[in-house]
Amino acid sequence: MSSCGCITDVLGLTAEECKVVAEYIDDSVEPLLGIMKRWEEALDRKGRVPYIEYPNVCARCGALQPAFFRVPDGEWERYIQIDMRNTVICRPCFDDIKRLIDSHA
């Protein structure tokens, strides 16, 4: 919970408390324990938004949470069809698509 940037504003943290939060070591001991208790109380008063994980899935093979990789924009545009450019493609599928296209070019 300390990863939320709004903790400083919501709790009105002092400079020293901000340093403790930034150094986050162990929230089961003071002084972080007290800060986290105040943060939980603030969250409970405000109400929490349910968290649901929506995993990344390769649009071609269905692999869950594939490792991200980068290729130059021009390469992505050459090998990935227009309607699929905003999807996740795993590296093995990208390499396979590239091989298929290049073998027919």
For the segment 33-55, what is each residue's pLDDT rounded down to a tens digit?
Answer: 999 899 889 988 988 777 788 99
- Count the domains in the chain: 2
Q: Are residues 64 and 32 in the same domain?
A: no
Distance CA 88, CA 4 (A): 26
Q: Which residue do the tokens 């290729």 mark?
A: 71
Instruction: Kindly state whether residue 2 falls inside one of the protein's structural domains.
Output: no
Does the pLDDT value for residue 3 go beyond 80?
Answer: no
60 and 16 co-located in one domain: no
Residue 95 lies inside a defined structural domain of this protein: yes
CA angle at residue 28 from 46 to 25, to 5 degrees?
Answer: 100
Domain hosting residue 22, numbered range: 7-46
More confident residue, 7 or 5: 7
Indicate if 74 and 36 belong to the same structural domain: no
Length, in residues, of the chain: 105
